[in-house]
């Protein structure tokens, strides 16, 4: 076990295994990050004392020069000794601090073959969070997993869309064995892909499958606060039968005249053109020529999130204006720590990106 002392954070965090970023997020330290796979550079920090082992990363995320200057990527760095690190003033102290809470299942509803809508009621006061953030849910003795809130902040009822993964330990349990009234331990909120209070020229919110959850929360919050800019919600799924929560989308579009919903199907039935075909990043590339003044949020399968970021950057978006939550598998992360999600994702694009 090693200890990581983060400048401006009062208590050291302890790491048994895994990266500095994993441990920081588990302890609720408001550190910056995006891809969690060594490709965006958002989690860069400087090691002041101590030694870390560094997994593979893209050179664009961290140059050799920066490395020799002591900079590391927290999502790739595993401490070998106790370390002291400095985020150079980039800790996000305005996010609500993580709490540990107890909740009970209030609603459990299957929305389609894969997606379950879960509503949890938190004991006591509402758990504060920002629209777009996620929580770590623990069901009994199963390992905790990250799931994003779909509801508006400030409510004691937390809504989640959970996709049943084939062979998934936790999502399988949620889909098949969880019942109304069951207890759930919640820790959160976490994540920095939350709705900013700035006033951009446009908001592009991109969801792949269950990634609709945080994008819905963002769209609900933007609608409630009457953010005065166009809001484009792209929702990518494989086929029409994989769509869910149409009621919430229709209701919001009615409430918010500046909002448009773009459903994109990656496996369109020939002759059926009620919705657009392809992937969300392709739809965005055909809809926009300049994203430089826009804020871009995306959540869902890592290859989709990577493709959206790549497309947004190619259309002039600023790196600082792109916020992503790739729904990485913790099991896969532990087994394949050195393989980049974006590199993997781009290699797969167009062939087997699964929404």
Ligand X SMILES: Cc1cc2nc3c(=O)[nH]c(=O)nc-3n(C[C@H](O)[C@H](O)[C@H](O)COP(=O)(O)OP(=O)(O)OC[C@H]3O[C@@H](n4cnc5c(N)ncnc54)[C@H](O)[C@@H]3O)c2cc1C
Q: Contact residues for ligand FES (CB under 6 A)?
A: 33-36, 38-43, 61, 73, 75
How far apart CA 23 and CA 33 sit, in angstroms, is 13
Closer residue to ligand X (CB): 38 or 191: 191
Burial label, 179 (beta-carbon count in 10 A; 0-12, 13-18, 19+): exposed
Cβ proximity to ligand X: between 184 and 213 the closer is 213
Q: Which of 325, 340, 342, 353 binds ligand X (CB under 6 A)?
A: 325
CB of 31 to ligand FES, least distance (A): 9
Helices (H), 177-245: 212-224
Cβ-based neighbours of 161, under 8 Å, separated by 6 or more: 111, 115, 116, 117, 118, 150, 210, 212, 213, 244, 245
String marking each residue 75-94 x if it binds ligand X according to CB under 6 A: --------------------
Query: CB 53: neighbour CB atoms within 10 A?
Result: 11
What character string, x for contact with ligand X (CB under 6 A) and - otherwise, covers 149-188?
-----------xxxx-x-xxxxxx----------------
Q: Does 331 sit near ligand X (CB under 6 A)?
A: yes
Contacting residue, 145, 220, 232, 276, with ligand X by CB under 6 A = 145
DSSP state of 293: T
Q: Which of 43, 51, 164 is nearest to 92 (CA)?
A: 43
Q: Please report whether residue 130 would count as binding ligand X according to CB under 6 A.
A: no
Q: Which stretch binds ligand X (CB under 6 A): 15-23, 52-60, 218-226, 320-328?
A: 320-328
Which runs of consecutive H residues, i.e. helices, occur in the chain?
20-26, 64-68, 169-176, 212-224, 246-255, 280-287, 302-314, 330-335, 341-348
d(CA 116, CA 175): 6
Distance CA(323)–CA(23), nearest Å, equals 21
DSSP state of 112: S
**DSSP for 67-88?**
HHTTEEETTTEEESS-EEEE-T
The pair of structure tokens assigned to 74 is 């927290």
Site residues (CB under 6 A) for ligand X, limited to 286-305: 301
Q: Residue 270 binds which one of ligand X, ligand FES, none, with CB within 5 to 8 A depending on kind?
A: none
Among 129, 134, 234, 279, binds ligand X (CB under 6 A): 134
Chain position whose Cβ is nearest to ligand X: 168
Q: Does 9 bind ligand X (CB under 6 A)?
A: no
168 binds, among ligand FES, ligand X, none (CB under 5 to 8 A by kind): ligand X
Separation of alpha carbons 263 and 233, rounded Å: 8
* Cβ at position 230, least distance to ligand X in Å: 25
139 makes contact with ligand X (CB under 6 A) = no
Peptide bond into 189 cis (omega under 30): yes
- Site for ligand X, residues 213 to 252, rule: CB under 6 A: 213
Out of ligand X, ligand FES, none, which partner does residue 266 contact, by CB within 5 to 8 A per kind?
Answer: none
Complex with ligand X: residue 105 or 291, whichever CB lies closer? 105
Binding footprint of ligand X on the chain (CB under 6 A)? 134, 145-148, 160-163, 165, 167-172, 191, 210, 213, 301, 325, 327-332
């Amino acid at each position: 076990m090693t200890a990581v002392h983060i400048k401006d954070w009062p208590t050291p965090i302890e790491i048994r295994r895994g990266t500095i970023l994993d441990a920081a997020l588990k302890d609720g330290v408001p550190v910056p990050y995006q891809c969690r796979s060594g490709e965006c550079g958002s989690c860069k920090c400087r090691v002041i004392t101590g030694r870390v082992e560094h997994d593979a990363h893209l050179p664009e995320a961290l140059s050799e020069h920066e490395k020799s200057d002591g900079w590391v990527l927290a999502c790739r760095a595993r401490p070998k000794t106790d370390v002291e690190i400095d985020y150079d003033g980039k800790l996000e102290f305005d996010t609500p601090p993580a709490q540990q809470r107890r909740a009970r299942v209030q609603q459990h509803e299957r929305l389609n073959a894969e997606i379950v809508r879960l509503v949890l009621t938190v004991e006591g006061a509402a758990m504060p969070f920002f629209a777009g953030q996620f929580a770590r849910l623990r069901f009994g003795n199963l390992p905790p997993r990250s799931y994003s809130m779909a509801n508006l902040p400030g409510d004691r009822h937390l809504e989640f869309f959970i996709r049943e993964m084939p062979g998934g330990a936790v999502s399988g349990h949620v889909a098949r064995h969880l019942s109304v009234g069951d207890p759930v331990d919640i820790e959160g909120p976490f994540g920095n892909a939350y709705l900013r209070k700035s006033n951009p020229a446009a908001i592009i919110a991109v969801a792949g499958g269950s990634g609709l959850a945080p994008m819905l929360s963002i769209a609900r919050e933007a609608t409630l606060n009457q953010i005065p800019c166009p809001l484009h919600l792209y929702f990518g799924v494989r086929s029409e039968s994989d769509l869910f929560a149409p009621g919430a989308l229709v209701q919001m579009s009615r409430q918010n005249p500046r909002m448009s919903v773009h459903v994109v199907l990656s496996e369109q039935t020939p002759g059926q053109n009620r919705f657009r075909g392809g992937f969300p990043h392709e739809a965005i590339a055909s809809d926009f020529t300049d994203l430089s003044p826009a804020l871009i949020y995306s959540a869902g399968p890592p290859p989709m999130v990577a493709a959206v970021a790549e497309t947004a950057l190619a259309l002039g978006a600023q790196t600082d204006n792109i916020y992503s939550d790739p729904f990485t598998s913790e099991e896969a992360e532990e087994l394949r720590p050195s393989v980049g999600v974006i590199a993997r994702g781009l290699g797969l694009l167009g062939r087997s990106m699964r929404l």
